[in-house]
Chain A
Amino acid sequence: MNAKIKRTLITVSTGFAVALLFASCRTSVSDPPSGKTEPLGTDYIFREEAGFYAYAPSLMQTDSTTRYVYYTTNNEKENALSDVIAVRKGTLHDGEYVYGDRQIVLTPTENQWDSQRVTCPSVINGSFSYQGESYTVLMAYTANSIEASKNFQIGLAVAKNPEGPFIKVGNAPIIAYDPDISGSQYGAGNPSLVSFDKKGKVRLFYSHGDNNLSSTRVVDADLTNLDTPQLSGYLTVSYLGLPDDGLGFPLVANGDFALSADGGTLYMVKDGFPYATNEPKVASKLTLAKMEARGVYDPNGTWDTLVPEINQIDTFVDEEHLGWPRMYSACILRDGYGHLLDSDKLFLCFTSSCEASGLEDKSYLFSPGLHMYEASQ
């Protein structure tokens, strides 16, 4: 890379940001551009139509040539308050995955806890029963019932096929958030499911933000019988060993998790903090780390940071494509059970966005898209 360009990029990427918003926390709606966003760095893995975004992916590879990417998009063109969950099937052709058309697989349910926004999915395979039926695919998703990016809760849905149809489990969240007790804040969202036994026992990681603290929590859950789910108490995921982000202690939020093939090592990709101070106020870098899987049960569990900062420089292509100024809401490419495909290679799928050039510039709103990134261990 040209040294001058690199210096310029470093200057841009080291601007201080203090906002602690989660990636899905966008509320403003304005006049978006009608055209598609041109790539600023590494290319998209697929393109949404103009006026539609794609963010917060969950990517699983079920065989040597098939991947499914679940993500958040807007149901109505140029309406940022119409979040739904879509899936695209990717098939390997000539060394590259080609993704098919999007299918909306989960939408809000009127007059329920998830009546407004349905976002940020995480999907794994397993064996689950619900109301006398057997299912092989489980989705955890984020939703709320107000026109705001807060008071989120987490629900479950099941399917017999990766492309759906998905059936919501019950009419209550599996991870509830009560703003009357904890304050009208982010709530619980951004789930990341990891299978414990490739059947019905899972670890459910999720972001939690209340009046007191933003963090990531994990619960162990036996979801074999979804009519009577069993959940452990929550364990706040450790920040020890992660790079200092100047916020008192490193913030762990908006993360995705995966286990090594033997289950002994836990991997995490998370947003880097602090967030950008200009729109969109999301992360401009990612952090990749691993630790002994039992570390989540240990108050002194400590991460081994693999890559402290994956940022714009890492998505540089050429002098016409300097890289993405926003990189956030990433996931790890995993098998159907939330395990790594190959412990030597870690592939991430991250959300990109343009940034606003000024207070009036809203062109970034429908620019988010998805990209692959190979991280060296």
Chain B
Amino acid sequence: MHFTKRIKTVLAAFLTGCLLLTAPNALVSAQTFTVKDGMINGIRIEMIKAGGWTQIAKFPSPAIDMSSMQYLAIEVGNSTGTGWGFEVHLLDESGKRTTLFTGAPEKAGAEDAIQLYDDTYVLHTTNKAYYASAFTLPNFGGWMLIPRAAFHELSALDLNKIAGLTLNFNCTDGNKGLQVEIGRVGWFSEKPASKFSNLKLLFDPAEMTDAQLDTDLLLDNGGGLASFFRVKKNPKAALKTCKTLGDVRILEDMTEGYPADESEMNKTLTKMVYAKGGGVVPTVYKDEDTDGNALRYDITGPVEGNEDYYSAVTFVAKSGLADWRTWNTKDGKKAQGVTFWIKNLSDYEVSLGLEIDEYDPGTKEGDNGERWSLQYGTRVLLYDVNTKQQYIVQSQPHLFIPVGFTGWVRVPFSFYTKAPWCTWGNDVQDFLDVPQIAVISDSNINQGLSFAIDNLGVYYEETLVSTSLFDSGMSLPERMGIK
């Protein structure tokens, strides 16, 4: 027996507790769903405007016994360049409900970490729930496994009689652009088997007719805050990925996404200068060593009246690039550090730093990014592409680039520390959402010096030096495939 829409609405309102659902007419009703390309097969919720909550819910009837649940499994997709979160609730027949913990600070330990598997069932990354929400990754299609331990006060529920599952999406200004795809939903009573063959399926929207979507699920658009679509898995829906060089994911190559006309590009670069610092003139640089354009960074010295003597050129996430913001993992490998190509154009050592801003999972609109800077004594790998020499140099705290150096730099994340003035954030290098990075230089001590920089990115393999006497097999040129 199916619940009527009225009953479903009341139940949903009860489920979501303090969430104010809109009137019954907010429910999607007897519609024909448009089909779009997506990361998975299922349904997609697209936010239209801010103003409340929307949800996708399933109310099993009769209630089902999930007492042996070890993981709740949700097939999720995200065709955007930004990670989105949603709340997950379980409801028993008596009306008691549980939601996810509100994050690592409240409950330490790995047992409650949410696991994200890619669409080949390979573990992609793990993450905690933050603000009681589970997060999808940009441009990602796969499975989200929520362990039993991630649910708050689960023991208070009668797990023998689970009567509802709701996925709630917060439509706020901060979530503009939100798109989340939901496919198969089920659970595991034991460790997931190969290809998740032991999944106990709760529902699969891709297999439902339009009528079944209407009757078997609750699709609540919050009174016009969102639209629902069918999505069909199509790799073409994926955003363009960043360029890769060996184990490096290049985020900024100073060519892609910039104006072809040099004077226009120079104007663009000028706009990227940190206004409170100044002291740098960024222009296009090309020579026999560059790969297309590089950024020439001429340090003109402190600007009188400006509050900051650091010059900085800031790079924000490029639209249309899927993985610019997500640095955490690549092909199951954990990011090890940042990398870039640089040429010292001066007759003196020049020093610079690379600052990273990241949003913690669950960051809300108006929150500041958590700032990561180089610490004193940062130890950096250098590879000179002309002399083929490798170096380990030490910073204080900025990186010193030797005279005559042209080549690649690797800065391990282990030498990044939170900026002392940054009193907010979770103190974790999540790197799940990096909206901007900045190349900085002390315009006082580097006044009159210049360098060219290009191909800023992230590397994913541990890297050591090799010399003629010691072959680590893990050197920078080997990692990049340029030996």
Contact = CB atoms under 8 A, between A and B. Distances in A.
Interface of A: 181-182, 196, 201, 203, 210, 212-213, 215, 220, 222, 230, 232-236, 238-240, 248-249, 294, 297-300
Interface stretch (B72-80, B278-286, B289-297, B464-472): B464-472
A220 B469 contact: yes
Interface in B356-415: 376-377, 379-382, 384, 387, 389-394, 396, 400, 403, 410, 412, 414-415
Given A212-B349, A236-B392, A299-B392, A249 B377 contact: yes
B348 interface: yes
Contacts of B390: 232-233, 235
Nearest to A238: B379
B304 interface: no
A248 B349 contact: no
Interface residues of B, number: 34
A248 B398 CA distance: 13
A230 B389 CA distance: 11
Contacts of A212: 349, 351, 396, 400
A232 B393 contact: no
21 contacts: A182-B349, A196-B469, A201-B469, A210-B349, A212-B396, A213-B394, A213-B400, A230-B468, A232-B468, A233-B382, A233-B391, A234-B391, A248-B376, A248-B377, A249-B377, A294-B464, A294-B470, A294-B472, A297-B465, A297-B472, A299-B380
Contacts of B382: 233
A232 B347 contact: no
Interface centre among B347, B390, B464, B466 (most CB of A within 10 A): B464
A288 B107 CA distance: 41
Contacts of B403: 181
B469 A249 contact: no
Q: Which of B351, B384, B394 has the most CB of A within 10 A?
A: B394
A186 to B, nearest CB: 15
A235 B392 contact: yes
A215 B468 contact: no
B474 to A, nearest CB: 9
Given A210-B349, A233-B390, A234-B392, 5 more contacts: A230-B468, A232-B389, A236-B394, A239-B394, A300-B379
Nearest to A250: B377
Most chain-B Cβ atoms within 10 A of its Cβ — which of A182, A240, A248, A297?
A297
Contacts of A297: 392, 464-467, 470, 472
B384 A233 contact: yes
A181 B380 contact: no
Contacts of A196: 469
The 8 closest A-B pairs by CB, nearest first: A249-B377, A233-B389, A232-B467, A299-B379, A220-B467, A220-B469, A233-B391, A248-B376
Nearest to A234: B391
Contacts of B472: 294, 297
A144 to B, nearest CB: 21
A248 B396 contact: yes
Contacts of B469: 196, 201, 203, 220, 222, 232
Nearest to A221: B469
Contacts of A201: 469
Given A236-B393, A238-B379, A299 B468 contact: no
A263 to B, nearest CB: 11
Contacts of B467: 220, 232-233, 297
Contact of A298 (B348, B393, B464): B464
Contacts of A232: 389-390, 467-469
A235 B465 contact: yes
B391 A235 contact: yes
Contacts of B384: 233
A248 B375 CA distance: 9
Contact of B376 (A234, A249, A299, A300): A249
A230 B380 CA distance: 23
Nearest to B411: A299
Contacts of B393: 236
A181 B348 contact: yes
A262 to B, nearest CB: 15
A343 B394 CA distance: 30
Contacts of A203: 469
Contacts of A220: 467-470
B410 to A, nearest CB: 8
Nearest to B405: A233
Contacts of A233: 382, 384, 387, 389-391, 465, 467
Contacts of B414: 300
Nearest to A251: B377
Contacts of A210: 349
A232 B472 CA distance: 14
Interface in B453-468: 463-468
Nearest to A211: B349
Nearest to B380: A299
Contact of B396 (A213, A222, A235): A213
Interface in B37-83: none
